[in-house]
Amino acid sequence: MGTATDTKTRILDLAERLARHKGFNGFSYRDISEPLGIRNAAIHYHFPSKTDLGLALIRRYRDLLRSRTRRFMKEGGDPLPHLEALFASYERLSLDQSICPISIVAVDYYTLPEPMLNEGKQFVDETLAWLTRVLEVGRDRGVLRFDGEPREKAIGTLAALQGGNQIARLREDDALQQTITELRRGLGLPVASPAKD
């Protein structure tokens, strides 16, 4: 028999998948309770309102970002694995025909409650701070080459990835891969990603 923690995690996992495919406003508690075989009351126990659920989802993304980037942000290091991980994460989203965490907030921007918008903005700020640092370190080490300020390049890179993912989702083609290829060229990287062991 599962614990309350297990149930909470299962709820968040399914809510995340639904949000990535339908946007945050595109699903209800029923879309979670029925597949999980639980009552809506069980969801309300963990997340009294859908806003609470949305906040938990965004905080989950923020916690994941921090855990994966904390050491780099503090000590520096090789920026290329971080950049490759970013590209790979969007490739996985594209294969799954789903949207990125930032898009989950952006797509429903005008209808989301203020606490979710604030949490989403903080997530974007932290993502851009990390990507800016990756680009700064990469250029300082001579492994990345680009014109302009790292912050501007970070915004452009993130926007291109989101746009490429959305176009690929609509057209079911390789728009995202083409976007990543152009981003690689713009950063002075080999066009093909490094071979994986």
pLDDT digits (tens, 9 = 90+) for 97-148: 899 999 999 989 999 999 999 999 999 999 999 999 999 999 999 999 999 9
Confidence of residue 13 (pLDDT cuts 50, 70, 90): very high
With a cut of 70, say whether residue 195 has pLDDT above it. Answer: no
How much is the pTM? 0.89
Tell me, what's the pLDDT at 3? Answer: 66
Whether residue 103 contacts residue 21, with contact meaning beta carbons closer than 8 Å, is answered with no
Considering the domain delimited by 54-186, tell me its CATH architecture: Orthogonal Bundle (1.10)
Buried b (16+ CB within 10 A) or exposed e, 133-145: bbbbbbbeeeebe
Whether residue 146 contacts residue 186, with contact meaning beta carbons closer than 8 Å, is answered with yes
Cα 62 from Cα 69, distance rounded (Å): 11
What is the SS3 assignment for 197?
A: coil
Question: 32 to each of 20, 43, 119, 145, how far by Cα in Å?
Answer: 14, 8, 23, 46
